[in-house]
């Protein structure tokens, strides 16, 4: 894309970068958004005149704290916890918690900033936030993870609430961690405040389809993009990176819609299964046994493990980067195009580098940015909040129908905004412009706060 920013937007970008040194992921996300909204601001100068853009790039609140805990051998560890409450103009802060050694303030800020626009696109009345810790749950016992979660929540609980900030899971934070976190919140507050955490177990307030929602949503968005070209998923080959919630359920939905997903990956390498990934086996390995994709290969004849290449080397028509940020590089985009890819839908947050996005778009590849394509997870979280507030429970098909409908609306909003602002077919521009306008208009209505 690489639009030339106006002097006013350049000033906003430069000031934000100057006061957030050492946060390259945040700078990358900020630049992409400012480039995308440049035509919006040009038509609506009031967004600059009222200070909305300047205010939007600065978080409303940033919380950092230490998290001391004791392992099973009695050794004391001290991690760092974060919660960046970015924008609440549309509703309570909403966004996941990530437990991973790579977590730092810049990554949490980038994720929280992206969350503002993603959440706005769902139309569900939720603000944007993100949090987490540099704690690594991999290889830790249940008892160690419980003690860490209890220590983490002992500080964070005072900043949360169903009308204030509603966390959920992300990388390293699944149903087990959410259970421990919610339990400690309940103990500290003496309230069973179901709506203050999403991704809960179905038996104690969770929503059907929440586990599947991000992966399913990325595929539904792909389906809508392909439909604009009179294409569909049926009969097409897809490559998927990652093997967590997003990847597993993207694979499942691709195959339900008649496609053939042939890859999955983790830090040990990637697997290729030309017959189509066996979803039940992958769930057993990753969700039940918490194993590696190499364990899948040992039990699936005909599949193979590759440890020295890139999952993007595998020829396919559809690609779903669903692992982590900046995993799809310019060289990967070149290989995808050479191998005939026609569409890319981001299941992860900002997994494609800016130069790779630009190349894919120039080559005519349909490209769905994460803030639109992976909005299904947070959309279903908002549905979970609605069910908690009304003490209702929806069945699986009812919840999935709502998710499908929301993803169609997200696609329509991004598609129409791209057309309106002179960038037809550019979902990056469309998603940012549509999300930005919803938040900016709410900020103007509520005054300078």
Catalytic residue numbers read: 130
Yes or no: say if 356 and 329 are a contact pair by the CB < 8 Å rule: yes
The neighbour count for residue 288, using CB atoms within 10 Å, is 8
Q: What is the CA 188 to chain-centroid distance, rounded? A: 29
Q: Is 334 annotated as a binding residue?
A: no
Q: Is 236 annotated as a binding residue?
A: no
As to burial, measured by CB atoms within 10 angstroms (0-12 exposed, 13-18 middle, 19+ buried), residue 447 is: exposed
- Across 256-273, b (16+ Cβ under 10 Å) vs e yields ebebbbbbbbbeebbbbb
Instruction: State whether the Cα torsion 305-377-133-326 is positive or negative.
Output: positive
Which secondary-structure segment (H or E) carries 401? helix 396-420
| Partners of 79 in beta bridges | 67
Pick from 208, 282, 285, 223: which is nearest to 247 by CA? Answer: 282
User: Do the bridges between strand 128-133 and strand 76-87 make them parallel or antiparallel, or are there none, so unpaired?
Assistant: antiparallel
Q: Is 245 annotated as a binding residue?
A: yes
Grouping H, G, I as helix, E, B as strand and the rest as coil, residue 106 is helix
Question: Helices (DSSP H) in 57-190: which residue ranges?
Answer: 105-122, 142-156, 175-189
Yes or no: say if 49 and 4 are a contact pair by the CB < 8 Å rule: no
Pick from 323, 308, 367: which is nearest to 341 by CA? Answer: 367
As to burial, measured by CB atoms within 10 angstroms (0-12 exposed, 13-18 middle, 19+ buried), residue 135 is: buried
Residue 15 tokens read as 């000031």
Q: How far apart are CA 140 and CA 296, in angstroms?
A: 22
DSSP per-residue codes, 164-210: TEEEE-BTTB-HHHHHHHHHHHHHHHT---GGG--S--GGGTPPTTH
Q: Is 263 annotated as a binding residue?
A: no
User: Do the bridges between strand 165-168 and strand 93-99 make them parallel or antiparallel, or are there none, so unpaired?
Assistant: parallel
Q: Is 106 annotated as a binding residue?
A: no
The neighbour count for residue 448, using CB atoms within 10 Å, is 9
Show binding-site residues: 94, 115, 118, 169, 214, 245, 381
Show binding-site residues for NAD(+): 214, 245
Show binding-site residues for substrate: 94, 115, 118, 169, 381
């Amino acid at each position: 894309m690489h639009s030339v920013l106006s002097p006013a937007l350049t000033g906003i970008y430069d000031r934000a970068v100057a006061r957030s040194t050492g946060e390259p992921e945040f700078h990358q996300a900020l630049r992409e958004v400012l480039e995308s909204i440049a035509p919006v601001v040009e038509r609506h100068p009031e967004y600059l005149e009222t200070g909305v853009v300047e205010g939007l790039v600065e978080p409303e609140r940033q919380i950092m704290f230490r998290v001391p805990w004791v392992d099973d051998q009695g050794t004391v560890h001290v991690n760092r916890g974060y919660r960046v409450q970015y924008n609440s103009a549309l509703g309570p802060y909403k966004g996941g918690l990530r437990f991973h050694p790579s977590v730092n303030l810049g990554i949490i800020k980038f994720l929280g900033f992206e969350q503002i626009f993603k959440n706005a696109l769902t139309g569900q009345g939720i603000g944007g936030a993100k949090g987490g810790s540099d704690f690594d749950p991999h290889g830790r016992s249940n008892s160690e993870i419980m003690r860490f979660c209890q220590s983490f929540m002992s500080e964070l609980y005072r900043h949360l609430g169903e009308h204030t900030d509603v966390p959920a899971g992300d990388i390293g934070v699944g149903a087990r961690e959410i259970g421990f976190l919610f339990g400690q919140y309940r103990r500290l507050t003496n309230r069973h405040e179901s709506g203050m955490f999403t991704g809960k177990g179905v038996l104690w307030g969770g929503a059907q389809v929440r586990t599947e929602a991000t992966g399913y949503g990325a595929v539904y968005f792909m389906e809508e993009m392909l439909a604009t070209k009179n294409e569909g998923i049926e009969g097409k080959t897809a490559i998927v990176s990652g093997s967590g919630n997003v990847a597993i359920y993207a694979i499942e939905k691709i195959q339900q819609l008649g496609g053939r997903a042939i890859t999955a990956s983790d830090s040990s390498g990637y697997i290729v299964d030309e017959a189509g990934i066996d979803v039940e086996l992958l769930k057993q390995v990753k969700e039940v046994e918490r194993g590696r994709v190499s364990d899948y290969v040992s039990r699936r004849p005909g599949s193979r493990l590759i440890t020295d290449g890139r999952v993007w080397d595998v020829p396919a028509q559809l690609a779903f980067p669903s692992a982590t940020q900046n995993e799809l590089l310019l060289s990967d985009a070149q290989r995808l195009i050479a191998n005939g890819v026609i569409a890319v839908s981001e299941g992860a947050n900002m997994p494609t580098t800016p130069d790779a996005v630009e190349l894919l778009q120039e080559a005519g590849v349909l490209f769905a940015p994460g803030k639109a394509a992976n909005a299904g997870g947070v959309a279903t979280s908002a549905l979970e909040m609605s069910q908690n507030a009304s003490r209702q429970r929806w069945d699986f098909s009812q919840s999935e129908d709502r998710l499908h409908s929301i993803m169609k609306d997200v696609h329509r909003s991004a598609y129409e905004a791209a057309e309106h602002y002179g960038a037809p077919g550019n979902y990056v521009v469309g998603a940012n412009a549509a999300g930005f306008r919803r938040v900016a208009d709410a900020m103007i209505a509520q005054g300078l706060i």
